[in-house]
Structure 1
């Protein structure tokens, strides 16, 4: 939040400063023992043969922190987990990426990591839904599945000799359409049990990628590929006036409703505001931010203004204070 730069009036600066100070006081009381800054000493028991890990150093016989973060202990290992750091992939992470290259039997994706991720042709379900060996014909038709600039959701499989490996062997993974891709700092998205969310009241799907890529798009019901294929075959048998003729129903299905598009933009702007303020991006906070914009009757473009950022900071301070009182 130190790098926060908004065109604030004097009144807004005072309100924002009070809200941030309140948030800082609440967080410092909770994590006073675990949080450290640079040069803070870390209490350890040298009799246990402590091991100094990342973010620590020995100075004048004491273990001190070299980065700002939270002290973590694993058996005899003591290290500091930096609060602000680059994305570090772990097996099982849900990530959202953009295809940058279609190579031999693989796609290369940008996932906000220091190297490109690799999605092998053999590590994903084909459109026909049948589990079988990949053939040369499948390799020739790779661009019909994903092509450059497509947004893809996948799971981290592990590290191999050719880089970070992804897999998309489930219906919840695959190509993402009809939405917006947002890029936030990876440390703002915490690892949780569920990263796929459906906002029923808005008709919006939300995917919080562990790599800092967030997808906000129209809700799409999961369908069986075999049923879709049979339906397409039955439709093709029905005579049509022309090959290039497209019915009005098909055009409506390919277009996102105006109301849904508004909610997609409103949700995306809520995430942008939270990212600007440096707040953790969770489903609960996103919903509260969207509801706040609706309560004060703000237009979508006005959500990126200074006044709404101050309102969000004040509301977050109130929420954390009330949660602490409930405990």
Structure 2
């Protein structure tokens, strides 16, 4: 993803600094009792017994923090959860990845992790929608499903002897087309109940991958009824009908209207601005940023300017202070 280079004048620097200081003071009131920096002492009760976890060190009879973060306690275990960390996969994570290799009965994906993830042929739905054993013919046709550089949405299945495994056994997973893939620091995307968002007013689908890969693309309707119709036909008829329909219908279906393209670019630039400012990226905050740019009648490229970044920071500081006051 292209980074934003902020060239601020003196006034903008002061405004941005004040907004960030206000945000920091609001967040510190919430976590002041638990936030630590490197070499801070962590109060513990040795009488109950202490298990020192990640980010802690026993030094001269005290438990010292070795990283910046928030102190977490689970029974006797004390550890420090870092605020800025690399992506650590957990079972059930929704991720977006790019195919790096088509191997035997599997695809390897780059998911912004220390190693590539594995998507087995047996761990995904076939295009015909029929639940059956994978055959040698399916293995030969793997490139017709996914090939190198394709962008895919999947779910973390778990760790096995040969690495991290994914699964895509649902209609919401699979190949992503007609959109943009953005990369942000993984710690800016928090794990939530919902990572799939349909921004109806813009005709755009938004997928916030837990691994820091974010997809912004044209909305695609689920076609469960088409899958059901295909299940009733023999496989050779499905293949034949697909070949015959790869003309005008597919061209019309893959055409993205110019208005939708502009919305995709505007939402993508909103994500770039939030990432530059270091804000947690949520669908609500993205929508607010897009609405702010529209209310100011800014062109899409003007969203990457310094003044708009300062306005976003000031607006977020004001919103959080109002929320804090109501609470």
Hey, what does 2:149 align to over in structure 1?
149
Check conservation: 1:95, 1:209, Cα contact below 8 A: yes
1:35–1:70 contact (8 Å) kept in structure 2 = yes
1:121-177 alpha-carbon deviations (Å, 9 max, x no partner): 000000011111000000000001000000000000000010000000000000000
Aligned residues: 318
- Residue pairs, 1:73-84, within 5 angstroms: 73-84=73-84
Other-structure match for 1:240: none
Alpha-carbon spacing, 1:246–1:140, altered in 2? closer, same or farther (3 Å) = closer
- For residue 60 of structure 1, report the CA deviation from its aligned partner: 2.2
Provide closer, same or farther for how the CA distance between residues 302 and 102 of structure 1 changes in structure 2, counting only shifts above 3 A: same
Shift of residue 280, structure 1, vs aligned partner: 0.3
1:249-297 C-alpha deviation (Å, 9 max, x unpaired): 6533220011011000000000000000100001111110000100111
Q: Normalising by structure 1, what TM-score?
A: 0.93
Are the structure 2 counterparts of residues 18 and 5 from structure 1 closer, same or farther at C-alpha, using a change threshold of 3 Å? farther
Alpha-carbon deviation of 1:43? 1.0
C-alpha change, 1:318 and 1:43, in structure 2 (3 Å) is same
Residue 203 of structure 2 corresponds to residue 203 of structure 1: yes
SS in 1 for 2:47: helix
Structure 1 residues 174 and 244, CA gap change in structure 2 (3 angstroms):
closer
Alpha-carbon shift at residue 246 of structure 1 (Å): 3.9
CA distance in 2 between counterparts of 1:45 and 1:245 reads 69
CA distance in 2, matches of 1:227, 1:290: 38
The CA distance in 1 between the partners of 2:42 and 2:172, in whole Å, is: 43
Cα distance in 2, alignment partners of residues 94 and 317 from structure 1: 29
Shift of 1:103: 0.1
Q: 1:250 to 1:317 in 2, by over 3 A?
A: same
Tell me, yes or no, if structure 1 residue 274 matches structure 2 residue 274.
Answer: yes
1:193 paired residue number: 193
Larger CA deviation: 250-259 vs 188-197:
250-259
- Equivalents in 2 of 1:31, 1:244: separation in Å? 58
Deviation at 1:61?
Answer: 1.5
1:6 Cα deviation (Å)?
1.5
Per the TM alignment, residue 245 of structure 1 is displaced from its structure 2 partner at its CA by 9.3
For residues 286-310 of structure 1, what are the alpha-carbon distances to aligned partners after superposition, in whole Å with 9 as ceiling and x for unaligned? 1100001001111001101101100
- Distance in 2, matches of 1:245 and 1:36, equals 59
Whether 1:22 and 2:7 are equivalent positions in the alignment is no
Q: CA RMSD of the aligned region, Å?
A: 2.0
Unaligned runs of at least 5 residues, structure 1: 238-242
Structure 2 runs not aligned, ≥5 long = none
**What's the CA shift for 1:228?**
6.1
Partners of 1:132 and 1:76 in 2: how far apart? 48
Quick one: distance in 1 between partners of 2:246 and 2:113? 44
Q: Is the 1:4–1:277 contact (alpha carbons within 8 Å) kept by the matching residues of 2?
A: no
Task: Give distance in 2, aligned partners of 1:250 and 1:137.
Answer: 25
Is 1:226 paired with 2:219? Answer: no
> Normalising by the residue count of structure 2, what TM-score does the alignment of the two structures yield?
0.93
